[in-house]
Structure formats: structure tokens, C-alpha cells
Amino acid sequence: MVVLVTGANGQLGQSLQFIAAEYPQIDFRFYNSQELDITQKKGIETIFNTIKPEFCINAAAYTAVDKAESEPEKAYEINVTGAGNLAEVCKEIGAKLIHISTDFIFDGNQKTPYTEDDRTNPKSVYGQTKLDGEKAIQSIFERYFIIRTSWVYSQFGNNFMKSMLRLSKERETLSIVNDQIGTPTNAVDLAHVLMKIISNTVQNPERKTYGIYNFSNEGQCSWFDFAKKIFQINNIKIDLKPIPSSDYPTPAERPKYSVLDKNKIKRVFGVEVKNWEESLKII
Ligand code: NDP
């Protein structure tokens, strides 16, 4: 079974490459942004018609949350037009699309974990383009899995954990936002969940499981708590100060609360979700 992965050099793309050997039944085809640009429909068609994937995992995205505020057209082109292009080509050749979305489609005003049916209301250009990307896919066909995730980190690419480890070498004191609550997600855990969705879909073709699913690790914390745990696990001594987000203004507004409810993905696919602190330990 051929599974095509876009955005192969991003942190999810690299996490999928990292676990690929554990799934010998899958013939992975990884494409980075130079080899397959998701904004170019003709190029996508040529590749898809040649390799005929059964699934496409779209790990490609415009992910620069703050920069998106000053280049919304570019973010839209990749996160909306690009996602739509993949859906159209998947529809044409009969492939299924696994697309990744974000907790930033929510406004953060809720006080309990967001389910897949809760009201979306993005506060940033990035969040809006990710939501519009979901809608573009849904308007094209039904054979999609949209996986909404949050606070993704890994040993690959750029992420909060790697920024903290780098900054700890440069500074003695760090001030970290303590009033945004969410859940970190180990990208390798996410990669395994995508494999579970694929195998379940292949083994149970009669089940109607397409749709939107939340996945992050279990539990919740602030960025400050996350940083504290990263330093604790790595035995790094540093003076950490909790600060309100008003003391750390960013171009893009982030939700104050974006914990995701994972009951649907657990129920439908039997996914077991590790606590975020457990997952961080094995990185
Ligand atoms: P990364 O930024 O690490 O990777 C994104 C990849 O997309 C990069 O390799 C980039 O390539 C590639 N890309 C950009 N534009 C194009 C294009 N036009 N065609 C093909 N590839 C392109 O992202 P993550 O792995 O962290 O994110 C994976 C998914 O998870 C995304 O959909 C993201 O929105 C979502 N997500 C991420 C979160 C996080 O905290 N990181 C949180 C919630 C959701 P290049 O480097 O060459 O530009």
C-alpha cells in the first residue's frame, strides 16, 4: 500500500520518516517542498498519477504563526489552496487524504476541552487559514481525516522544546507565558496515530470513519509548566519566571485555553493517549 507524505522535511514529516521502518506493510513515498509543492496542482497530479497512493498524509503547511499576520496571502495559498489541491487530486485518483489542523482554530474562551463539534473562531491569520483549509477539503470530497492537534514538539525541526533548550545555553533567566493553557503533542505519537487510522481504515473498509478528530497528548499545562518540565527532564538549572501573555506581546493572538477532547479518536480507533509528561520523558 502506497502512502504519500507531503512536507517530508517538517517535524511531522521527519517523525513519519523516523517511524516508517516499523510499518513494513506500507510503501512510504516522502516528498519535500521542492519535490512536491502543494500549491501547484499540475505537479501534484503528475506525481499522484504516477505513484497512485492509497493515502496522502499532508504534513505540509505554512506554520509561521506570527509571520502569517504580515503575509496572509502566502499562508492562504499553502494552507487553503494547497489543502484544496490535494483534496481535488485525491478525489480524482480515489485516494484518501489525512490532513493536519490546529487548536488555533478556537478562540480559547471555553473552560472545558474542545470537542470536534465545538464552535470555531480563530483569532489569528494562521488559525483562519487552517480553518479555511479544513473547509476547502470538506467542500471537495468525503474521504478525508482531519486531525486537529496542538503544541507539537519533537527532536526534529523547530518547536518550543528545541527553542527552550537552545535559549537555556544563551541565558540564565527565562520569562515564559503562564496564562495560555493547552496540551503538548509529541510528533512521534501523532505519527503513530496516523498509522493506526490508516490500518483501521484498510482493515475495516465498511466502517464510516471519515471526519474530524482531535489528537494531542493527555493532560494540560501552560507554556511555563511545559518549559519547567523540559528543563527538569534534561537536568538544566535555569531561573524560570512565569509571566502573563500581556508581558510577551506577539503579532498573532493565541487562544488562552485550547485543550482538545480526545474521546472521539479513542472511541473510534482505540487510540491510547499518553500523558504529555510521559511522552516528553522519552524524547
Ligand atoms: P513544520 O513547519 O515543521 O513543517 C511544515 C513543512 O511544510 C515544511 O517542511 C515546509 O517545507 C513544508 N511546506 C511549506 N510550504 C509547502 C508547499 N507549498 N508545498 C509543500 N510543502 C510545503 O510543521 P509541523 O510538522 O510542525 O506541522 C505539521 C502540521 O501540524 C501542520 O499542518 C501544522 O499546521 C499542524 N500543527 C502544528 C503545530 C505545531 O505546534 N507545530 C500545532 C498544531 C497543528 P519548507 O521547510 O521547505 O518550507
Q: What is the pLDDT of residues 10-41, one digit of tens each?
A: 999 999 999 999 999 999 999 999 999 999 99
Average pLDDT over residues 225-248: 96
For ligand 1, say whether the CB of 186 is within 6 Å of any of its atoms.
no
CA of 64 to the centre of ligand 1 (A): 9
Pairing type for strands 144-149 and 96-102 reads parallel
Give me the chain's average pLDDT, please. 97
pLDDT tens for 182-195 read 999 999 999 999 99
For the record, the C-alpha cell of 269 comes out as: 480507533
For ligand 1, say whether the CB of 5 is within 6 Å of any of its atoms.
no
- The vertex-254 CA angle with 250 and 256, nearest 5°, equals 125
Contact yes or no for 3/48 (Cβ under 8 A): no
Residue closest by Cα to atom 41 of ligand 1 = 152
In which residue are the cell numbers 490500518 written?
A: 199
pLDDT tens for 39-97 read 999 999 999 999 999 999 999 999 999 999 999 999 999 999 999 999 999 999 999 99
For ligand 1, say whether the CB of 82 is within 6 Å of any of its atoms.
yes
Closest ligand 1 atom to Cα of 39: 18
Residue 177 DSSP label:
E
For ligand 1, say whether the CB of 150 is within 6 Å of any of its atoms.
yes
Q: Which residues have a catalytic role annotated? A: 126
Contact yes or no for 87/41 (Cβ under 8 A): no
Cα–Cα distance list, 195 to 7, 23, 24, 207 (Å): 17, 8, 12, 17
Domains in the chain (CATH in brackets) are: 2-159+185-219+258-275 (3.40.50.720)
Q: Could you tell me if the ipTM is greater than 0.85?
A: yes
Q: What confidence score (pLDDT) does residue 282 get?
A: 74
Contact yes or no for 229/280 (Cβ under 8 A): yes
